[in-house]
Structure 1
Amino acid sequence: MAKLVVFELVFVALVVAFASAQKTIIPLSSTRENTLARTCGERIRGRNFNFCHSYVARALPQKGPPVPGQKERLQELQKQCCKQVKEFTQECQCDAVKELYLQVKLQGGQPMEQVRQIVQKLPDTCKLQITQCQIPSRV
C-alpha cells in the first residue's frame, strides 16, 4: 500500500512538473526577436546622431532667400547622416531612424510632422536595405 501511495505521489509530481514546463515554453522566434530588439536598443541608446540632426534641421523648409552653398551643405549632411545610420546592422536601422526622430522630438522647436516625413524617407534617401520604416504620427 505504501508503495502505491509513493508511486501516486511521484506520478502527480511528474504531471505537475510537465504541466509547468508546458507553460514556460517560448517559441524560438519570439526569443530571437526580443533579444534582437534588446540588442538594437542597447546599441542605439545614447548614440549621437549629430549629422542627422543637422540634416533634418536644414532639410526643413527655410524662410527667406536661399543661402549660397546651402544645397551642397545639405547634400554633405545627408551623406554623413546616412553614414551614421548605416553603421547599424540592417536589423537595427529602422530602430536607429526611430531613435533619431525621438531625439529631434525631445529637442523640440521643430515642426514635428515635417520632421517625421523627412526622417521616414531616410531609408529611401540613404538607400538602406530596409524598404520602409513607419514612424507613427503620435510617438
Structure 2
Amino acid sequence: MIQSFEIGKPLMTRRRYELTAHEWSIISPLLPNKPRGVARVDDRRVLNGILWRFRTGSPWAEVSERYGPPTACYNRFVCWRKAGVWDRLLEAVSKAYDGDIVMIDSTCVRVHQHAATGKKGMETMVAWDVP
C-alpha cells in the first residue's frame, strides 16, 4: 500500500490498483462536473470504486464504503455511460500511454467435476507440432 494525502483531506492509503496522481491528471478533465443538490462524493473515490467493482466482479452492493456509497458508484457509472464518458476516457488514456503494444489473451472453461475426466475406454489423442 502507498501512503498519499491531499491538503485538507484525511490520510488515505492508496492501494496499488487505484489511480495514481498522473493517471488522475489525465482522466479528471474528461469527467462531467455539474454538482446539483447534495454534495457529491469525490469523483476519484467513485471511479476507484467502479474500477474495483469490475476488477473483482463483485455485485455493486458490495463496493466498499471507502469508495463512497455503492449506489453513488453505480449511478455515476450509468450516467457516465449514457454521456459517453467511458469512450472519451479510453481514447485519452490510449493517447497518453507511451509503452509497447501489449496483447493479453485468456480462456477459462468451467467444467463440472465429473466431466473433467472424459469417458472411460476412449483413446488419448496427442497433438504434435511436426515441421
- Shorter-chain TM range is under 0.3
Q: TM-score when scaled to structure 1?
A: 0.24
Please identify which structure carries the higher helix content. 1
Q: RCO greater where, 1 or 2, for CA within 8 Å and sep 6 or more?
A: 1
Q: Normalised by the size of structure 2, how large is the TM-score?
A: 0.25
The structure with the greater share of residues assigned to strand is 2
